[in-house]
């Protein structure tokens, strides 16, 4: 693991300077006076109504699921960058001991790490497909729960317990911080009526700063969104800054969670648990038991989440397809990718993925510079064709400089030159019942068998759906898919088949492979959700 000094030092300063200042104040002037407002039945609003306790609890459940599945996704490409190119050794945070070797091919797949299932959801290695299902399933419920929570906060006046209404909260919060930082407990108000100033600021920050920031930075990683609205990833700076912020916000939630739970325990555990779980200002064992049981339920649900991901991965994949895909499609489908970059933006290095073909057939073609290569386009079409590279080069050439998004988290910009899939479709004239095109590769998948993937024909008709034979002005290299590879810029990288052998037009992908739409969908439970 390595963190760049340029990030570590500001982070340390952020922690150490206030702590040192707090110690100085304590030693020089003693502990500050903390103003404790009086509690009592007259104070409005007070207490923790039922909806607030349920919302708080569900939020806890979903945040834990989101953190655990998010860390699993991170383990798939355990490097964080400020630059959009993801150039090896330019990362500000590296969560792997491996420095990318330069003397041999090192694919992004090789680079993925193992994560223990105690932390990761679902744990182990190469489980990003299932981790994403849990992440997106959780996020829908988390956002819905959060929206209801915030509406009720404002509807009931409870927001006044969180939102600061006077600047005096800043010096008041500092005074409380001086106590905590020097390992003292300040005189506390009864949280049933008032939070202390630092507590109030922390709660406000979690609900009104961290949560919205997490929701906003998430989509900055979506190929459909960023390649449609180029301004969106520019809000954080670029796609990798969005990803880095998404991670740092998660760290913020973890720090909040640890501090919050610690304070619940040390400032009167029994009373706090009664307030949180039952909404009563009492000190009974019953409240403690209910609270601890509820936490136990969260633990059990997490165990079930891991277990189901390993025992019934196909079911999880299908549940996500039924629940998440329609919503995401509503938001992200049919957005034509338009974002283009300049030559000066092209990445110096594009992470490779996939197994280079080893078959004698492909090696013979390669040895002869692909002069005998024929792209077979067949299936439900009026005019099946076999196209040589010269045939393809004779068709109108399109070039695009676009941002590639891998499901693992890395990205990169390259210039691609080739034939628009729209032109190929026009040439072969698919039958009315044809819905999908299946792209088969000469290359194998990770577990053997040929790599393939499928795309909706209507998506292939959009601009930026390209059969590329050139990358950065040169014929495709072997590593990047020679002689022909796909580019569909509103989708994730795994849909962009390299070393293409044939294109078959079909009514449904259900009869191809294991019927999930592609090699990674079949073998790694990737979702159809390739636009985020």
Residue 443 contact, options Mo ion, ligand MTE, none, Cβ 5-8 Å cut-off depending on partner type: ligand MTE
Which residues between 236 and 265 bind ligand MTE (CB under 6 A)? none
Instruction: Give the shortest CB-351-to-Mo ion separation in angstroms.
Output: 8
Q: What is the C-alpha separation between 341 and 57, in angstroms, rounded?
A: 45
* Nearer CB in complex with Mo ion: 191/443: 443
Q: Residue 481 interacts with Mo ion (CB under 5 A)?
A: no
Number of residues that bind ligand MTE (CB under 6 A): 18
Burial letters 392-423, b for 16+ CB under 10 A, else e: beeeeebebbbbbbbbbbbbbbbbbbbbbbbe
Question: Binding marks (x or -) toward Mo ion, 343..382, rule CB under 5 A?
Answer: ----------x-----------------------------
How buried is residue 479: exposed, middle or buried, by Cβ count under 10 Å (0-12/13-18/19+)? middle
Residue 181 contact, options Mo ion, ligand MTE, none, Cβ 5-8 Å cut-off depending on partner type: none
How buried is residue 384: exposed, middle or buried, by Cβ count under 10 Å (0-12/13-18/19+)? middle
Choose the stretch contacting ligand MTE; rule: CB under 6 A; options: 133-141, 262-270, 321-329, 497-505.
497-505
Question: Which residues, in sequence order, are CB contacts of 217 under 8 Å at separation 6+?
Answer: 236, 242, 243, 245, 246, 249
Q: Of the candidates 134, 192, 247, 451, which one interacts with ligand MTE according to CB under 6 A?
A: 451
Instruction: Give the shortest CB-493-to-ligand MTE separation in angstroms.
Output: 3
Question: Binding marks (x or -) toward ligand MTE, 332..361, rule CB under 6 A?
Answer: ------------------xxxxxx------
Q: Residue 442 interacts with Mo ion (CB under 5 A)?
A: no
Q: Of the candidates 273, 288, 406, 436, which one interacts with ligand MTE according to CB under 6 A?
A: 406
* Nearer CB in complex with ligand MTE: 353/531: 353
* Nearer CB in complex with ligand MTE: 138/441: 441
| SS3 track for 130-154 | HHHHHHHHHHHHHHHHHHHHHHHHH
Q: What is the C-alpha separation between 186 and 266, in angstroms, rounded?
A: 12
Instruction: Give the shortest CB-107-to-ligand MTE separation in angstroms.
Output: 7
Instruction: Give the shortest CB-234-to-ligand MTE separation in angstroms.
Output: 23
Pairing of strands 375-379, 500-506: parallel
Q: Of the candidates 62, 81, 247, 499, which one interacts with ligand MTE according to CB under 6 A?
A: 499
Q: Which of 483, 475, 494 has its CA nearest to residue 410?
A: 494
Residue 441 contact, options ligand MTE, Mo ion, none, Cβ 5-8 Å cut-off depending on partner type: ligand MTE
Instruction: Give the shortest CB-360-to-ligand MTE separation in angstroms.
Output: 17
Q: What is the C-alpha separation between 393 and 416, in angstroms, rounded?
A: 13
Q: Residue 328 interacts with Mo ion (CB under 5 A)?
A: no
* Nearer CB in complex with Mo ion: 350/484: 350
Residue 466 contact, options Mo ion, ligand MTE, none, Cβ 5-8 Å cut-off depending on partner type: none
Q: Residue 493 interacts with Mo ion (CB under 5 A)?
A: yes
Given a contact cutoff of 8 angstroms between Cβ atoms, the answer to whether 431 and 381 are in contact is yes
* Beta pairing partners, 474: 471
Q: Residue 417 interacts with ligand MTE (CB under 6 A)?
A: no
Q: Of the candidates 57, 179, 469, 494, which one interacts with ligand MTE according to CB under 6 A?
A: 494
Which DSSP state fits 357? P
Question: Which residue spans within 35-133 are E strands per DSSP?
Answer: 79-80, 93-94
* Nearer CB in complex with Mo ion: 161/405: 405
Instruction: Give the shortest CB-416-to-Mo ion separation in angstroms.
Output: 16
Token pair in block for residue 91: 């990362």
Burial letters 29-58, b for 16+ CB under 10 A, else e: eeebebeeeeeeeebeebbbeebbbebebb
Q: Which of 403, 494, 397 has its CA nearest to residue 455?
A: 494
* Footprint of ligand MTE (CB under 6 A): 350-355, 406, 441, 443, 451, 480-481, 493-494, 496-499
* Footprint of Mo ion (CB under 5 A): 353, 406-407, 493-494
């Amino acid at each position: 693991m390595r963190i760049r000094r340029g990030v570590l030092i500001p982070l340390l300063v952020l922690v150490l300077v206030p702590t040192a200042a707090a110690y100085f104040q304590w030693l020089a002037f003693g502990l500050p006076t903390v103003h404790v407002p009086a509690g009592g039945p007259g104070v409005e609003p007070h207490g923790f109504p039922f909806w607030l306790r349920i919302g708080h609890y569900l939020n806890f459940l979903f945040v834990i699921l989101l953190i655990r599945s998010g860390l699993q996704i991170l383990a798939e490409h355990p490097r964080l960058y400020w630059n959009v190119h993801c150039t090896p050794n330019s990362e500000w945070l590296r969560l792997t001991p491996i420095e990318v070797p330069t003397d041999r091919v090192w694919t992004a797949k090789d680079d993925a790490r193992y994560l223990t299932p105690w932390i990761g959801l679902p744990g182990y290695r190469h489980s990003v497909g299932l981790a994403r299902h849990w992440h997106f399933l959780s996020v829908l419920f988390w956002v819905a729960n959060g929206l209801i929570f915030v509406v009720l906060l404002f509807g009931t006046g409870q927001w006044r317990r969180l939102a600061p209404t006077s600047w005096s909260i800043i010096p008041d919060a500092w005074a409380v911080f001086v106590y905590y930082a020097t390992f003292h407990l300040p005189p506390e108000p009864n949280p049933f009526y008032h939070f202390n100033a630092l507590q109030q600021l922390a709660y406000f920050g979690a609900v009104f700063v961290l949560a919205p920031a997490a929701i906003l930075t998430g989509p900055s990683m979506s190929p459909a969104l960023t390649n449609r609205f180029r301004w969106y990833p520019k809000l954080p700076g670029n796609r990798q800054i969005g990803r880095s912020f998404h991670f740092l916000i998660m760290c913020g939630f973890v720090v909040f969670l640890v501090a919050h739970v610690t304070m619940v325990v040390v400032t009167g555990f029994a009373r706090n648990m009664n307030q949180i779980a039952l909404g009563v200002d009492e000190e009974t064992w019953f409240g403690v038991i209910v609270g601890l049981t509820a936490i136990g339920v969260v633990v059990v649900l997490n165990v079930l989440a891991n277990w189901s991901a390993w025992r019934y991965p196909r079911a999880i994949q299908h549940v996500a397809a039924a629940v998440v895909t329609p919503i995401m499609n509503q938001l992200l489908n049919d957005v034509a990718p338009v974002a283009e970059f300049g030559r000066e933006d092209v990445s110096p290095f594009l992470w490779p993925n996939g197994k280079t073909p080893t078959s004698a057939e492909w090696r013979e073609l390669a040895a002869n510079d692909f002069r005998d290569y024929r792209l077979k386009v067949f299936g439900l079409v009026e005019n099946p064709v076999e196209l040589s590279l010269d045939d393809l080069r004779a068709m109108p050439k399109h070039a695009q400089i676009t941002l590639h998004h891998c499901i693992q988290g890395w990205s990169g910009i390259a210039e691609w030159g080739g034939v628009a899939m729209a032109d190929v479709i026009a040439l072969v004239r698919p039958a009315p019942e044809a819905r999908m095109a299946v792209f088969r590769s000469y290359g194998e998948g990770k577990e053997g068998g040929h790599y393939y993937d499928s795309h909706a024909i209507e998506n292939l008709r959009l601009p930026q759906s390209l059969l590329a034979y050139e990358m950065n002005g040169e014929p495709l290299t072997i590593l990047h898919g020679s002689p022909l590879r796909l580019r569909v810029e509103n989708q994730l990288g795994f849909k962009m088949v390299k070393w293409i052998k044939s294109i078959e037009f079909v009514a449904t992908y259900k009869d191809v492979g294991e019927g999930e739409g592609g090699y990674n969908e079949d073998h790694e439970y990737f979702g159809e959700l390739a636009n985020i």
